[in-house]
Amino acid sequence: MSQPTIVDSHCHLDFPDFEGELPDVIQRALDAGVERMVTICTRLDAEPTVRAIAETYSPVYYAAGVHPMRAGEEPLVSADQLISFAKHPKFVGVGETGLDYHYTAETKDIQQESLRVHIAAARETKLPLIIHARAADDDMTRILSEEYANGAYTCVMHCFSSSAELGKAALDLGFYLSMSGIAAFPKSKELRDIFVSAPIDRILVETDSPYLAPPPHRGKRNEPAYSALTARVGAEAFGMDYADFARQTTENFDRLFWKAAR
């Protein structure tokens, strides 16, 4: 009997951690049942590299944007720049973008401006917005809601580890929450409870590799294959059979990331 298949909805295959190893990394993912991966570009000068990875490996798709921690380091991206990427058949999402006041609160004004530009591009292309949120829950809730009132768009709260309030606000707008290795840590019961309180048809799974490896690899380099480990913890938290959880989260991915759907 073949093993259930899942999707790693967020990884960073262009990072130096994987240099020279991509064929093996992708094969290990496929061997673990991870049938597709979305590799995320966090700065525009890396877009050609990230695009080339998606073009080279058939299970890999890509998204591009300016990470909030980089928003103050380069000229403000335009919606037209982001929209132009959407012509590529394997470009499936806008971002990651968002707000990070933990490390880069001093650039919060430009982060907010950049976030709104990314939302405009997501709205125009009908592709999902990929959100990074850290230590900025109030502003994140406000901006996502204000912008949604200006015109609907779709969105995933990537590597969700924020408050229950931000989770609820995102779900109320019809958005998705993505489980990373953080949700699989033994001490993350409170976070797992937030996920379990969400509708199962709004849950995705990701690695955010090379970061945040789930047990038993915690503290080591993460890779897409390990999203299957997080998914097993997710299935347990939801009280579901792994095959059912895998199927449901894959359906969720296909609905949101429609350009990468099976």
The long-range contacts involving 52-56, CB below 8 angstroms and separated by at least 24 positions, are 53/13, 53/14, 53/22, 54/90, 54/91, 55/90, 56/22
10 belongs to an annotated ligand binding site: yes
**What angle, 0 to 180 degrees and rounded to 10, lies between the N-to-C axes of helices 227-238 and 242-256?**
110
Q: Do the Cβ atoms of 6 and 33 come closer than 8 Å?
A: yes
Q: Which residues of 245-255 are buried (b: 16+ CB within 10 A; e: fewer)?
A: bbebbbebbee
The secondary structure of residue 158, as a DSSP letter, is T
12 belongs to an annotated ligand binding site: yes
96 belongs to an annotated ligand binding site: yes
158 belongs to an annotated ligand binding site: yes
88 belongs to an annotated ligand binding site: no
Q: Give the Cα-Cα-Cα angle 139, 204, 58 (nearest 5 degrees).
A: 115
Which DSSP string do the residues of 192-245 spell out, in sequence order? HHHHHTS-GGGEEE---BTS-PPTTSTTS---GGGHHHHHHHHHHHHT--HHHH
217 belongs to an annotated ligand binding site: no
CA distances from 8 to 50, 148, 227, 255 (A): 16, 27, 6, 15
Sequence ranges of the binding site: 10, 12, 96, 132, 158, 208
Sequence ranges of the binding site for a divalent metal cation: 10, 12, 96, 132, 158, 208
